[in-house]
Chain A
Amino acid sequence: MDSVLRAAVMYVALLVLFKIAGRRSLSDLTTFDFVLLMMISEATQQALLGDDFSVTNAVLIIVTLIAIDVGLSLLKLRSNRVSRLIDGEPTIVVENGKLLRQRLHHARLVEADIMEAARSSQGIEKLEEIKFAIIERNGKISVIPREN
């Protein structure tokens, strides 16, 4: 019984903690952020398995995690509110070459982050060439260039 409870509690705890951390923490940023995510996964693993290394325990925990995940995705299909609550929404941060500074501040982003995404995804050189830059639900910044 405790295996299922561990898996369920860790799932919910991680969901809430990553919601608190915000959208950017989910996308791979620097090497350090990647290592940080790995450290979080190591800590989670210890809590899930405890000192029980049997196949039964591992399969039970994986089954529980997948069941909760699929259950939540079914719930998201039925209800827009749940989907918005769990996944979030995309937010526009650059509009017609202009930074929406209040939004950048709340999202803890700087202009350099936008320009980095613009250069790597669209080969854009200047801020004025951006029609829209949107921070997506998964934390990635998608850039739509101006048609010229």
Chain B
Amino acid sequence: MNDDAEHPDLHSRQYPVREDMAYQLNVWRFERCGWYLLVILVVLGLLGLFSRGLLSTRDIRSEDGRVRVQYEMFHRNGSTNPMKISVSGVPESTVELELTGEIMEGFSIETLQPEPVRARSSAQGIRFWVQTDTQGQAALFITLRGDGLGVFHSRIVLPGSNDVKLAQFIFP
């Protein structure tokens, strides 16, 4: 780096413009470091740090395997992402599912398919009653829209089973 400043090309001239080459070299150094930072951001974006990708997509189950949730850990304010909740229970029956925690404070549900048999609000969230098929499987396809900012902890609770804990982050 000392070699750089010694090169006659890099001495400050005074005419026709007054130069400060030490400052200009710093500016160029800042540009180069900035470019590396941009590349890192692009790579992180591709990996899904800013929603949708390896780092963001999650597929978790409750301890007894009765509830499975596929969701995005990272969201961006204003954009939508899908969430799929699969439950297994007694065939041809109604299973109760509760979405609780901070999820309803930070997100709004844009679409919910299929329409649950029954839906009620609960103390901190929403309760759904879904109909299972002949194998005892049921799935809820939800489109969540991020409306808040920051971290939101929530739980998906199946009465009689361990709950599934979710943590989601919404970028501005």
Residues of A with Cβ closer than 8 Å to B? Answer: 9, 16, 19-22, 50-51, 84, 88-92, 95, 100-103, 106-107, 132, 134, 144
- Contact indicator B17/A22 (Cβ below 8 Å): no
Q: Which residue of B lies closest to A88 (CB)?
A: B27
- Contact indicator B19/A102 (Cβ below 8 Å): no
SS of A interface (majority):
mixed
Contact with A along B81-101 (1 / 0, CB 8 A): 000000000000000000000
| B33-78 interface (Cβ within 8 A of A) | 34-35, 37-38, 78
SS of B interface (majority):
helix
- Contact indicator A103/B31 (Cβ below 8 Å): no
- Contact indicator B23/A20 (Cβ below 8 Å): no
- Contact indicator B20/A89 (Cβ below 8 Å): yes
Smallest beta-carbon distance B151→chain A, Å: 19
List chain A residues, Cβ under 8 A from B13. 92, 95
- Beyond A20-B35, A50-B78, 10 additional contacts (C-beta under 8 Å) are A19-B30, A20-B30, A84-B23, A91-B19, A92-B16, A92-B19, A100-B9, A101-B9, A102-B10, A134-B16
Chain B residues bordering chain A, tally (CB within 8 A): 22
Q: Which residue of A lies closest to B34 (CB)?
A: A20
Q: Is B7 part of the binding interface, using a Cβ–Cβ cutoff of 8 Å? A: yes
- Contact indicator A89/B24 (Cβ below 8 Å): yes
| B152-172 interface (Cβ within 8 A of A) | 172
A19 to B29, CA, bound (A): 12
Contact with A along B1-12 (1 / 0, CB 8 A): 000100101100
What 10 pairs between A and B have smallest CB-CB spacing?
A20-B34, A102-B9, A106-B28, A100-B9, A90-B17, A22-B31, A92-B13, A102-B7, A102-B10, A20-B31
Query: Which of A22, A51, A84 has the largest count of B CB atoms less than 10 A from its CB?
Result: A22
List chain A residues, Cβ under 8 A from B7. 102
* Pairs A–B under 8 Å by Cβ, sample size 6: A50-B78, A90-B17, A91-B17, A92-B16, A132-B16, A134-B16
List chain B residues, Cβ under 8 A from A16. 34
